Amino acid sequence: MTVWDGLVGQDDVVAILRGAVEDPTAMTHAWLFTGPPGSGRSVAARAFAAALQCPEGGDGTCHACRTVLAGTHADVQTVIPEGLSLGVADVREIVRIAGRAPSQGRWQVIIIEDADRMPERAANTVLKMLEEPPPRTVFMLCTPSLHPDDIMVTIRSRCRVVALRTPRAEAIADVLARRDGVDPAMAAWAAAASGGHVGRARRLARDEGARLSRKAVLDVPLSLVSLAACLTAADDLVAAAKEESDQATAALDGVETEAVKASLGVGARGPGVAAASRGAGQLKELEKRQKSRATRMGRDSLDRALVDLAALYRDALVLAAARGSDIGPPALAHPDRRADAEELAARVGAEGALRRIDAVLACRTALDQNVKPQFAVEALTVALRLPVDRR
C-alpha cells in the first residue's frame, strides 16, 4: 500500500510526482493539476502532499501519510470554494497560512481545489504569492484545463503542470471491485456509465438513488415530443437538482449553525446574552455562505445532468455518422442506452444531434453567466424537441 493507490489509471502522473519527491532538483514551489472532472486532480494533489511529508516518500502507513490523506495534518491545508467562487476570506486564509513555517512536516502545503473558481482579485493575490513564495511552502492548484477561462496564463507560467487524463473504464471497474468490494458486474456497469469519473462510478455502484437520477435524465431526449413535454422535462430537471442540493446541504447547514450559536453563547444566561446579541452579524454571514453553497451544489447537480444529455446526443452523432461504414461499432459514452442513441440517430440524424449538443453547451454557458436555471433549461428542452416522426 502506498499513497498513490487512490490514483486510477494515472501511471505517468505517479512517475512524475514520485520523481519530484525523490529528486530535489525536480521539485518546485508551485504545481498545477489539470484534467477532466473525476480524473483525480485533488486525489493526486493530496497523494503528492503526503509523499512530500513522508520520511519514506509516501509509504502510506506512517503517521504523516495517514494524517495528510485524512485531512488532519497540521502542515497541509486544503482550500475548497464553498460558494460559486473563492471568497475574500478564503484568500486571506491562504495568505496567512502561506507565511507560516512548517510545524511538523518538511513542507507547508496549500492545496486549492476548484482553482478555476477564483475571481480576478483572488487570482491576482495567488499570483503574487507564486511570484514571491515563502520558503518551504508548496502550492498545489487543481483546475479542469489550461484554458485562460479556467486559470490565468500568468499563474500557469509559474507552475509545473501535471496533466491527468480520463481513466479507462476497465481500470475504474478494477478499483471498485478490488478496493471497494463492489460486485464485478455492477462495477463494470458503473465504470462504463460514469464517463470516466471515478467518484461518480462509485456513487452509481453504491447508491440506487444515483442510478435512478441518471435514468431520469437519460429518459428526457425521447420524451420531448411536444411543447408541454419540453416544459415538464425542464421543471423535472430543475426540481431534481434543487432536491439533491437541499439534501446535501441540510445536514451541513444545521451542524454549522448550531456550532456558531454555541460559540456565541446563544441561549445562555447572564454575561453570555450580551455576546450572543453581538453575534447576529456572524450568523447572517454564515447564512449567506450557506445560500451560496446551496446555489453552487444545485448548479453542479444540474451541470452533471447536462453532461449526461450531451453524451447521449454524442452517442447518437457517432452512430449516425458510422452508418454504412465498415469501421466497426463505435465506443459509446452510455453503452447501456445504445437503443436510445440509435433511436435518436434515426430521428434527428447527425446534423440534428450536433445542433442539440451545441444547445446543451449553450445552456451550460448560460448557467455559468447566472441565467436563472428555470429559464435556461426551458430554452434548452425546447431546442431539444424531437421532430415529428413521419415514419
Evaluate if residue 55 carries a pLDDT over 70: yes
Is 261 among the domain residues?
yes
Distance CA(342)–CA(352), nearest Å, equals: 13
More confident: 377 or 326: 377
DSSP 322: T
- 200 part of a folded domain: yes
Contact 224, 384 (CB under 8 A): yes
- 158 and 186 in a common domain: no
Domain count, the chain: 3
Q: Are residues 174 and 159 in the same domain?
A: no
- Cell numbers given for 135: 520558503
Would 71 be classed as within a structural domain?
Answer: yes
Instruction: Provide the pLDDT for residue 299.
Output: 85
Strands 137-143 and 108-112 turn out to be parallel
Are residues 10 and 144 located together in one domain of the fold? Answer: yes
Neighbours of 34 (CB within 10 A): 24
Amino acid present at 359: A
Residues 42 and 119 in one domain: yes
Query: Which residues span the domain enclosing 73?
Result: 3-163
Segment 154-196, tens digit of pLDDT: 999 999 999 999 889 999 999 899 888 999 999 999 999 988 8
For position 141, what pLDDT does the model report?
94
Give the pLDDT confidence of 351-381 residue by residue, as tens digits. 999 999 999 999 999 998 889 999 999 999 9
184 and 125 together in one domain: no
Helix (H, G, I), strand (E, B) or coil at 37: coil
175 lies in the same domain as 113: no
